[in-house]
Amino acid sequence: MKIVYFAWVKDRIGIAEETLDLPADVKTVADLLAWIPTRGANYADAMKDPELIRVALDQEFAQPDAVIGETHEIALFPPVTGG
């Protein structure tokens, strides 16, 4: 599964995207946000305030209870502000 990171999430993790096999127990967006910080200090730093992270599954905004299922791309990014 392709995971794409944007803005300060990308900066803190240190990469723009990666392809991963998610663990079997990562079934929802909330599961994903709980699992990512276990991957290392840079991931933990990026996810220290998970309520700030927005997630899109195949370019559609997703709530924490959304099932990842057959998603091809997951995007993680901070809140978008206008200007």
| Chain segment 35-75, per-residue pLDDT in tens | 999 999 999 999 999 999 999 999 999 999 999 999 999 99
CA distances from 56 to 3, 6, 40, 41, 47 (A): 10, 11, 22, 23, 16
**What secondary structure letter does DSSP report for 68?**
-
Which residues make Cβ contacts (< 8 Å) with residue 83, sequence separation at least 6?
none
pTM: 0.92
- H or E segment to which residue 13 belongs: helix 7-13
Helix (H, G, I), strand (E, B) or coil at 63: coil
